[in-house]
Amino acid sequence: MEWECIIKTKDKNDKYQRILQAAINVFAQQGFYQATISQVAKEAGVADGTIYLYFKSKDDILIQFFSDKTKLIFERFREEVKKVNSAIDKLGNLIRIHLEEFQRDRNMAMVYQIETHQNYRIAEDQIKEMSKLYLDIVSEIVEQGQAEGSMRRDLYVGLVKRFIIGAVDEVINTWLHSDSEYDLASMAQPLVDLFIRGVGNVGERNNRLPGREILQARMT
């Protein structure tokens, strides 16, 4: 009986994952609101009614996408960060695994990017949780870098986080909508180099730029 239970659980998990992946593919191709349960069922190779054995509705599929699939990916992010010691190496691992995971499943990346940039309230709580997980990792890296002296201590952490996350986000969006095929993961090292070195000549200082106190006031 125990073995039969294990088999049934495995079958359920396999079918659940198959339907979830099929839904991601359909959502990426058709758009969430245009997609139908019938299209998802056809993509998964199951009957329409089978979908409802695992998900309450199309909305529930999207919620489970953020709750299960993306959470697993963010857990991989943290695992990669823990493999190295220095803040700069941690940042490099984070950016690399982020781009690799999104490149591995383009449809997943498309759904994630679209849904997190829209004002939909369907998976709002899940999206907020994912954002917090990522912000927490970046914050820890930046704070460690400042403590080590490998990152500037005079920068407002909130601004640095937005700079890093915004740049990675834009690189992924550009890749998703590009007409040409290229290796998204190859952008990891140039991004880290940009984060650490910046774009200006270190010897050239512009004293007219707003100070840290002004930036803090603007970001709060």
Q: Cα-atom radius of gyration of the chain, to the nearest Å?
A: 21
pTM equals 0.80
| Dist CA 137 CA 139 (whole Å) | 5
Tell me the pLDDT tens digit for each residue of 37-57.
Answer: 999 999 999 999 999 999 999
Distance of alpha carbon 70 from the chain centroid: 7
| Dist CA 170 CA 161 (whole Å) | 14
Q: Which of 21, 11, 23, 14 is nearest to 48 (CA)?
A: 23
Cα separation values, 123 from 53, 128, 130, 207, 216, Å: 20, 9, 11, 44, 31
Q: Please tell me the least confidently modeled range out of 6-10, 22-26, 77-81, 105-109.
A: 6-10
Residue with the larger pLDDT of the pair 218 and 124: 124
Mean pLDDT taken over the chain: 85
Domains and CATH numbers, the chain: 1-55 (1.10.10.60), 58-219 (1.10.357.10)
Q: 134 and 78 in contact (C-beta within 8 Å)?
A: no
Tell me the pLDDT tens digit for each residue of 160-186.
Answer: 989 999 999 999 999 999 988 899 999
pLDDT of residue 9: 44
Residue with the larger pLDDT of the pair 178 and 215: 178
**Amino acid at position 75, single letter:** E
* Mean pLDDT score, 187-197: 93
Q: How confident is the model at residue 88 (pLDDT cuts 50, 70, 90)?
A: very high
* Mean pLDDT score, 61-68: 89
Q: 20 and 40 in contact (C-beta within 8 Å)?
A: no
Cα separation values, 82 from 89, 94, 166, Å: 10, 10, 23
pLDDT of residue 203: 56
Residue 211 has pLDDT above 80, yes or no: no
In the chain, pLDDT over 90 holds for what percent of residues? Answer: 59
Which helix (H) or strand (E) segment holds residue 123: the answer is none
Tell me the pLDDT tens digit for each residue of 89-131.
Answer: 999 999 999 999 999 999 999 999 988 887 566 778 888 888 8
pLDDT of residue 119: 59
pLDDT of residue 1: 43
Residue with the larger pLDDT of the pair 10 and 92: 92
Residue 8 has pLDDT above 80, yes or no: no
